[in-house]
Amino acid sequence: MSHKFTWLLGWSTCLFCVLLSGGAVADQLTTVTTPSTPTTRSTKADTLPVVTKLATKYDPRQLHQTTPVQNQGALNLCWAYTANDVIALSLGKQQATTYQFSANYYNYLLATNAFSDVRNPLAQNRTLDSSGDDSLAEYLAFLGYTPVRQQRFKTPRLADQDVTVASSKLIKLRQAGIKADIQAVYTIASQQTASEAIIKHRTALIKSDVKHYGAVSVAINANKTFDYLKRTHPQYSQKLSNGQVTTFIPIQALSKLPINYDNGWKQLTFDHQLTIVGWDDNYSKNNFMQKPHYNGAFLVKNTWGTSVLEKGYAWMSYEDLDLLQSDLHSVKTGRYVANHQYQQVNGATNAFTTLRKAPYTFIATRYRTGAKASKLTRFGVYTTQNNVPYQLYVTTRRLNTQHVTSLKGFTLVSRGTLRRAGLQKINIKKPYSLAKKQAFTLVLRLNNSAQRHYILPVQLASYRQVVNYPYVTRGTSYLSQTTRHLQWQNYSKNYHVNFYLLGYTQTMP
């Protein structure tokens, strides 16, 4: 059994905000900082989902399907503004309603120094008004910390205006969160190299997510693009005579830009985040300072107010290096459903474990119901790979014994394929009944038909004098990769990690 754990470090700075980029590898479990998704190489079994043909142009401004352009001021909160916009635009697709959410809410929820009275269990390795990544906020929204409206918790524009508060304030704010079901946070993982086919398929997938979910986040190097517009000789961005702003960093320019090798390969260093909100397949390549090979560009939305760029918007070539090497995120939302959530994690992952090659992997988590009988209606899982076949079982048996070597007595409640990488909820067609105060175990079989390493997201638990962020105690998470007889390892006990396998129940009438 391989126990290699991966995390992503590295922070880069610019005038407006700081963004996470990069990674590192260790051969043992270690305290880590906030990661982004580790890049996985595409294989036949891990190809991007099929995308249907889309319109050649989509501009939400012309359809009045936009949200207001925000101004982050001097705070390093572009990531929180971006996350809010991604969620708001997704909700707009579902509800035809315009939302304006508080960036300060996630600024506090994810800061180690947010509370004056207790340790913040949701905090990542960051302080108030500092850098982050949009996925940190989106994962919290998935776990029930949905955005609150801007007027409920206003965000300042100047640094040093945010101060620690009592935790009760954030508890009250959570109760004011928008009533919505965050069903998935999808990831389009960064790529090391780009062929024409990869760029075209990646472009199609981004367009599909914008069409169905409203927006896609992207990390960029603003210091060499939009921020450079104020200088005498900009290299990659320009303002046209019609007022439009365009940007394009060719892949060949990577050697001339700030880079890191944190993922094990040469990667652009990011310092800002934007929201992709539209596209135009026929946008002329002649509109760019550096000339792409083909026409086509995405409409991106910034967080520096309407006095910058074209009232806050710009056009980015489909072939831009930022689009290739950034992790991209979209959010699927739906109608609010009241349920009880069983989990052993608090927000975004802070580590990944690379498992040995095996035909399939079993992961399991154990929970106990409350004072009323209920039915299991959904489960949640986080996968870093696309097109993963799965089977979900439920059992009341404990797995901390060598006698549980088969699936005898387990009930198969759901099967299918996880088409997209990301954190997502899956409906169970035939709900599974649970008695009150009943212990139960969720067991998820993940098929690995290509015989490749499976990258499993985990969350490091805090124990004894070791404090990891987010702060969680050890749960009960098991893993087995044996092919003939199941042999369960208690990963929570042996390696101090918890798995992203969640359960959702509704109370029986």
**pLDDT at residue 474 tops 80:** yes
Alpha carbon distance 96, 100 (integer Å): 13
- With residues binned 3-state (H G I as helix, E B as strand, rest as coil), the percentages for the chain, rounded to 5, are 20, 30, 50
Q: What is the DSSP string of 358-381?
A: -SEEEEEEEEE--SS-EEEEEEEE
- Which residues partner with 363 through β-bridges? 444, 479
CB 339 within 8 A of CB 504: yes
**pLDDT at residue 398 tops 70:** yes
Residue 18 is predicted with a pLDDT of: 31
Question: Of 47-61, 236-250, 399-413, which range is least confident?
Answer: 47-61
CB-CB neighbours of 487 under 10 Å: 14
Q: Where are the alpha helices (DSSP H) in 71-166?
A: 78-95, 103-109, 134-142
Residue 199 is predicted with a pLDDT of: 94
Residue 194 is predicted with a pLDDT of: 82
* Residue-wise pLDDT tens digits, 245-300: 999 999 999 988 888 887 778 889 999 999 999 999 999 999 999 999 999 999 99
> Is the pLDDT higher at 35 or at 51?
51
* Alpha-carbon distances of 486 from 298, 401, 481, rounded to whole Å: 48, 11, 7
Residue 220 is predicted with a pLDDT of: 95
Helix (H) or strand (E) holding 274: strand 272-280
Residue 259 is predicted with a pLDDT of: 85
Is the peptide bond between 470 and the residue preceding it cis, with omega within 30 degrees of 0?
Answer: yes
Residue 34 is predicted with a pLDDT of: 33
> Is the pLDDT higher at 43 or at 155?
155
**pLDDT at residue 437 tops 80:** yes
Instruction: Compute CA 93 distance to the chain's CA centroid, rounded to the nearest angstrom.
Output: 19
Structure tokens at 325: 């090497």
Pick the CATH number of 4-48+56-332 from 3.30.70.100, 2.70.70.10, 3.90.70.10, 3.40.50.300: 3.90.70.10
**pLDDT at residue 10 tops 60:** no
pLDDT classification of 387: cutoffs 50, 70, 90? very high
Alpha carbon distance 17, 223 (integer Å): 10
Residue 55 DSSP code: -
Sketch the domain layout of the chain as residue ranges.
4-48+56-332, 339-507
If one looks up domain 339-507 in CATH, what number appears? 2.60.120
Residue 49 is predicted with a pLDDT of: 63
Residue 61 is predicted with a pLDDT of: 94
* Residue-wise pLDDT tens digits, 98-111: 899 999 999 999 99
Look up the pTM and report it.
Answer: 0.90
Residue with tokens 């470090």: 9
Residue 50 is predicted with a pLDDT of: 62
Residue 443 is predicted with a pLDDT of: 97
**pLDDT at residue 3 tops 70:** no
* Residue-wise pLDDT tens digits, 172-208: 999 999 999 999 999 999 988 888 999 999 999 999 9
Number of Cα atoms under 13 Å in the Cβ half of residue 386: 18
Burial of residue 403 (CB within 10 Å: 0-12, 13-18, 19+) is exposed
